[in-house]
Each structure stands twice: as C-alpha cells, then as structure tokens.
Structure 1
Amino acid sequence: MEVLVYVLVGVVGLAIGSFLNVVIWRVPRDRSVVRPRSSCPGCDAEIAPRDNVPVLSWLLLKGRCRHCGARIPVRYPLVELATALAFVALTWGLGFRPDLPAYLYLAAVSIALAMIDLDVHRLPDKIVLPSYVVAVVALSAAALTTSGIGSLLRAAAAGAILFIAYFALAMAYPKGMGFGDVKLAGLLGLYLGWVGWGAVVIGAFSAFLLGGLFSIGLILARRAGRKSGIPFGPWMLAGAWLGLTVGETLWRAYLDLVL
C-alpha cells in the first residue's frame, strides 16, 4: 500500500510537471496557461492527448513532433521527471504532515521559476506574488493544525527580513540584483522561517555561496566576464532548499564548533 501511495504521488508530480512546461513557456510571453491547447512551436499543430502523456509520449515520439518532425527539447521530460521525483522525495521525507502541501507547491514553483530565470533572466510577478498568498494560507493552515503559531510568526519575520535585506542590496547595487530577486527573497524567507532561524541563515548564505562559485567557474572557463548578467534566482532557490533540508543541522553543528 505504501508503494502505491508513492506511485500515485509520482504520477501527480508528472502531471504537474507537464503543466509546468506550459507555464515555463507561456508566462514569460504573457500568454494564457489555459487556452489555447498546447501546440507544436514548429508547425502550430495542436498536440493530441496521446502525444501529451508525460515522459512516455516524448519517448514514443523519439523527441520529435508527430506532424513536422521538429525536435522536442529533452528539457520537457526532464522537468516532468524532476517534479515527480521532488514530490516523491518530499512525501517520503516529510510524511503526510500538515505542511506537506506548502512544500509541494514550493517545489513546483521552484522548478518553474528556475527554468524561466535561466531562459529570460526574469522572475515573473504572475508566479511569485500569488505564491505569497498560497504560502501564507498553507502555512497558516498547518500552524492551526499543529499549534505552530510560533513557527508562523517566525516565518513572517524571516520573510520580512530577507525582503528588506535584498531590497537594500538591490538599491545599493541595482545592476547585480533585480527586484524579482527581492520579491522571491521574501517568499523564500517565509518557508525558511517556518523551519527555523538556522534554516534562514544557511539558506540565505548558501544562495550567495553557490551563485558565487558558479560565476567564478564560468569566468575561469571564459564563458562569462565580470560584467556578464547571470541569473541569481536558481541559486536563491537552490540555497533555500539546502536551508530547508539540512539548514538546522548545519547551523547547530556550526554553533557547537564555535561555542
């Protein structure tokens, strides 16, 4: 029975991953994610339901459009697989806790925002701002269920602190920090604060550490210069997930070492 539950969670993840592919393509182009139905960018032919099954259809079509033979990027099935794996991993790691829906939503949003930022160097308000509402509602429901009002207040405080900190950075160095990053920082702060202050510290620090190491690597490989624009959103998200998963453990280990 337990295996069946994880299989069902994975199937849901695949379906949501398929929808995320639509979001990743359409939202930056200010197009509706509901209508019209998905079509091939090459020949504009509408994609039939049999060709829209997550991962499986891509494999059966050998990564090409049935009508014109245009190549379908491998990113599509990878996004679907990544979402499914994230959903299964979170469900396995957390169990069916009251805050599980909040984490599942963040996982889906993280994948969409990371891919969009890599594509167009932008974190759309259409995704980030509604995510505040979802996070507040989901975490508030979890707090009421588990008597975690203290965690909810800490989440609000952490969200405000990270928002203000990133806002100050954006004002001090506007070429290196966009306001999309500022808005995302507040959202991630809510989740990190829900877990604990150790998660906040590790999550915030890891974003700059990972982003800095990646930038240095690009410069050393001569694939970017010191003035190159490198999207920071993916590293904010990666750092946040590091903070959410092992932040408290790493922070306690650090304090034990120092104190």
Structure 2
Amino acid sequence: MDLDPWLIALTVAAALWGAGVGTLLPRPAYRFTVDEEDSWQDECPAGHRITGVAGGWLGPARCTADLPGATTAVTPLTATAPTCAYGPSTPTVATATALVCATLALATGPRPELGVWLLLAPLGVLLTLVDLGAQRLPDALTLPLAGLALVLLGAVAFVPEHAGQWRSAAYGTLALGGFYFLFFLIRPVALGFGDVKLALGLGAVLGWYGWGALYLGTFAGALIGSAYTLAVAARGRPVRGQQVALGPFMIAGAYVGLLLEAYAA
C-alpha cells in the first residue's frame, strides 16, 4: 500500500507540534499537583520562587539556583549555574505528547476536526500527569476541556469535510457526564467529582463521532482500568479500598475510542 505523502507530512507536523507543546507541560503539571485544600505550587522543592514563561506556568520544570548537589551543565567554553530539576521528565512528556498527536493525525487525516484533537491532546496529557501525581483533577483544567471541546467542535461543524456532528457531541457531554454523576451519587468513595467534570469534555470529544464512539471509549477506559487493577493484584499489592486515580484510565479509553472511530469515519 502506497503511503500518502500529505498524510506523512501531516503526521510529522503533528508530532512536532506535540513535542513542542509537551516541553511546556512539566511545569504546570508540577504546579497543579497539590492537595485540594492547598494553593498551586509557586516554589520548587528547594524553596526557590518559580518564575519564567506565563508567570512561571509554562516550560520544563527546573530552576537555576545555587544548590548543593544540583546538576551543573559545564562546557569547555561556558559554565552555567546549577539547575534544580523537579516534576515530570521533560523529554518523556514531550515524547508522549508527540506520539499522541502523531497517532491522532494518522487516524484522522486532513479532516478539520484534527485541529481540535491536536489542541485538546496536550490538555489530556496534563490532566493525566496531575491525576497520577495528586489523584486530583482541577476545575481549572477539566472545565476548560469541556468548554473548548464544545466550542471548537461547534466551529468545525461549519467547515466542509468534517466527519462528525456537533449535536451528538453535545449529547455525549450530557450522557457521559450524567453517567459519571450517577455513579458518583451511588458510590462517592469510588470516584471524585473531578472525574464527573472530566467526563463532560471526554463525552463531547467521543460524542462527535456518535454513540458508538462514546460506548467504545467508555468501555475501553473501564477495560484499561480493570487490566491495571489485575496487574497490581498479580504483583501482590493490595487493591481493595485503595484510592486509584480514574482520570488517566478515562483519558486513555477516550484516546483509544477516538483513534478507532476517527480512522473508521
């Protein structure tokens, strides 16, 4: 099968976009990773004030300070101050974001909704990092995800060659959000209200391609979560009563559902 050179170029461009945006995510991931009653992190672990791009919110999680044992980058011609690194690894996050964006481009192709997926994907990666680090999904991330998904998809609905429907995206928001809200009322110890708010955005993204995508993405998330639980149990670690961050599984399931439905559309 011959490869479409335009699709290859689109995929490379998406990967470069993901890598570039991914380098900006470690710092907000660190700053958002706090308990619910705490304010956002404004200092590195060594107590130095976080400054930089966008008020210290964007970029690799590191600061330059005179710290004992800090990593120092030295070349024969230059010597920089010690660097205090913290938060998730910038190369790892950038690579993961690049892979997510590249696969979305391969599955979606040149259809206009790809622009929405590429804008929302870094936000999904950031939410995953925060929930893994603090078992918390901040309103400052989940609510913009839902709002942006509906607004951007609403705009894409007026662009020719799109493959989804805004009405089904809106229904998906209500359906998945309502499902998780009902689950929250029945078993509030099993998930947090942040998961309910996350479901609003994921419902819009999956609902764009119809009810089948919504079912598939939800089922895939449950399947991935169950596989993780079984893997943890197989290693002899207790799982009953243990708090588990559901957000990463919900996002992973939505990603799988979106890939499959975008490719099939």
Distance 1:119 1:9 in 2: 27
Distance 1:34 1:230 in 2: 32
Q: 1:21 corresponds to which residue?
A: 26
Q: 1:96 to 1:220 in 2, by over 3 A?
A: same
Q: 2:146 corresponds to which residue?
A: 132
Q: Would you say 1:190 and 2:212 are equivalent positions? A: no
Equivalent residue of 1:146, what SS?
coil
TM-score by length of 1: 0.78
Q: Is the 8 A contact 1:143 1:152 kept in 2?
A: yes
For structure 1, the residue ranges without an aligned partner over 5 or more in a row are: 46-57, 251-259
Q: Would you say 1:246 and 2:246 are equivalent positions? A: no
Give the Å deviation of 1:5: 5.5
Q: 1:40 corresponds to which residue?
A: 62
Distance 1:74 1:118 in 2: 11
Q: Is the 8 A contact 2:166 2:208 kept in 1?
A: yes
Q: Alignment partner for residue 189 of structure 2, among 153, 167, 175?
A: 175
Equivalent residue of 2:159, what SS?
helix
Give the Å deviation of 1:127: 0.8
TM-score by length of 2: 0.76
**For structure 1, which segment, 234-243 or 211-220, has the greater mean C-alpha deviation from structure 2 after superposition?**
211-220
Q: Is the 8 A contact 1:28 1:124 kept in 2?
A: no
Q: 1:15 to 1:229 in 2, by over 3 A?
A: same
Give the Å deviation of 1:239: 0.8
Give the Å deviation of 1:150: 7.4
Equivalent residue of 2:208, what SS?
helix
For structure 2, the residue ranges without an aligned partner over 5 or more in a row are: 35-39, 43-52, 68-72
Give the Å deviation of 1:133: 2.0
Corresponding letter in the other structure for 2:199: A
Corresponding letter in the other structure for 2:116: A
**For structure 1, which segment, 171-180 or 19-28, has the greater mean C-alpha deviation from structure 2 after superposition?**
19-28
Q: Which has the higher helix share?
A: 1
**For structure 1, which segment, 168-177 or 145-154, has the greater mean C-alpha deviation from structure 2 after superposition?**
145-154
Q: 2:49 corresponds to which residue?
A: none
Q: 1:212 to 1:194 in 2, by over 3 A?
A: same
Give the Å deviation of 1:211: 0.6
Q: Percent identity?
A: 31
Q: Would you say 1:145 and 2:165 are equivalent positions? A: no
Q: Where in structure 2 are the equivalents of 1:51-70 lying within 5 Å?
A: 67-68=81-82
Distance 1:172 1:123 in 2: 20
Q: 1:139 to 1:177 in 2, by over 3 A?
A: same
**For structure 1, which segment, 147-156 or 228-237, has the greater mean C-alpha deviation from structure 2 after superposition?**
147-156
Distance 1:9 1:205 in 2: 27
Q: 1:149 to 1:17 in 2, by over 3 A?
A: closer
